[in-house]
Structure 1
Amino acid sequence: MSDQGWVWGAGAATGIGSLPGTDIAEAQRVVLGELPALPHLPELPARGPGADLIGRTGGLLVELPVELYAARWRVAPRPGKDLRRARDLMERDLDQLAEQAEEYAGPLKIQAAGPLTLAATVELPIGGRMLRDPGAVRDLAGSLAEGLRGHVEAVTRRLPRACVLLQLDEPALPAVLAGRVPTESGLGMYRAMDQADARSLLNTVITAAGVPTVVHCCAPDVPVELIRTAGAVGIALDLSLVTDLDPLGEAIDAGLGLLAGAAPTTAPAGRAPTSAEVADRVRTLWDRLGFPRRRLAEQVVVTPACGLAGATPAYARSILAACRDAARRLSES
């Protein structure tokens, strides 16, 4: 690990999390084969409830059971079949990973929804998102923190030579801070959360996990400085959504790692971009930020712009390969 806390080596590439299909063994083979420097635990939401980001993370919560109701996740009075399914899927995924990556030694990324996105998505038993109740949000963050600590330990037990990197997915974070999360009626919005409160909730989870943590947000207006000061070692962004370079440049200058989402999740021109095109996109941003090229390969990990669940299997594989080869190009230039 570097002085800045980066768990990855120079010239690394990884995926954001989700992949198409329902075969976890095949998905893991693809990831381990295409992303040897920084593989990640694949997520396959096409398997149904409990394999989606919210259900998968809900299965990790401690003493806060969740269930599906009208196709939405909500807090449940007691553990039920939906929770069992989510936990069973995760157990099978980890067992399969242990089998395929038994000898793996190096960084390994795992993903979970962050506390703000969970609060903006999971509903209270009485209705309404957890976001409406600050006490419930604190309880949720505490439950997630304890659950992720246990999840990290479960991964480490299975792969004792791996170095775990945690990714918290926070697509709803900008909306939570701006008061743009709609109420169930659609007629109003939940009150904006104070930045200090959001930072504290993120820090609670990051500190408890006990491993280097990056925060992923594939939305405009990402609060980069909030994420850095919450204790994250890196930030994962869709480069096409970055419009204000100053906050990102200041955070990178302060030592924040960048997971650069440089490859589109669908084929805009009917083909996957080449590794040279992906590398040029990352290099162009880095040059605009004004940092020396020698830092690029160390501080930046090349990734797709977001998850690949909506891509075809062939496109997903070609994008991961393009990211891998782009990262190598950047480390050699």
Structure 2
Amino acid sequence: MDDWLQSIQNKDKRHIARLISRIENGDPQKIKILEELYPFTGNAYLIGLTGPPGAGKSSLLDGLIRHLRDERLTVGVIAVDPTSPFTGGAILGDRVRMTKHALDEGVFIRSMGSRGSLGGLSRATKEAVRVLDAAGFDVILIETVGVGQAELDIMHIADTVALVLNPGAGDVVQVFKAGIMEIADLFVINKSDRPGARRLAAEIEELLDLAKHGHAWRPPILHTIGTKSEGIEDLWREMTRHRDYLQACGEWSGRRERNLEQEVREVMEDLVRRRLEEELNLPEFKQELERVAQRKKDPYQVAREWLERVLGRTGGEC
């Protein structure tokens, strides 16, 4: 255990990669390591990038990584790709697209499958972010797949959320109807050298004027060209300005506390679900279902009794 902890904290890429693989595979031993790592977390700046496919998030990430390294900051990247329905692995390959950073000891990049998570970010993804946090990376970038209601989960892990759009990708109103407006701290119009970039910015401004902001922060609109690394410096400046704003107004700790509360709820739900699956496979439960079919018991009574049975015995590994 001590060797694992020391290796992770020394940014040993091999050990980090192996631990993330164990997390993805549901290895029960991962919990002990994660518990030991937890006291060393909470120091990284967590940035989420989301947006529709084809918006250029990966090229934007590539430029952002290069800029952060120029600033002498270490960077961890978790790229959440669609999960293959056949292999269960990630379909895309952000590690392939960013191979130029592979030999940089100050950068760690990992693609992970969404594993069918409705929130777009599986629990394994969040635990992988925690590993990189404990490893001491200054900035952790989380790129999520797609956009829409399922992507709202990014707000439960990131300190700053950037929504990446590009001109000509469709009606921006649909994006806001999906609820993304409420979670975006920055709007990034990537591929801004294409026609329609100014019109897209104007549409976003109009919708921001109509939106009711519960705080003083108004999401800025940035123009970038990821393939040329244009606008990256301005993007990072606005990200750090948002971080400073959160820390100054006290929302930094509040947001993180809410994220941790959400994570505890998810762990509890997972514990109950696993125990419930074990109990529902017992012969006694089959007999209970027969009584329901015979109208000797009602579904609500059975559900209540078995849930109480599960809650009274919940425990063990996650």
The higher radius of gyration belongs to 2
> So what's the TM-score if we normalise by structure 1?
0.35
Task: Considering fraction of residues, name the structure with more helix.
Answer: 2
Instruction: Specify which structure has the bigger relative contact order, considering alpha-carbon pairs within 8 angstroms and separated by 6 or more residues.
Output: 1
> So what's the TM-score if we normalise by structure 2?
0.37
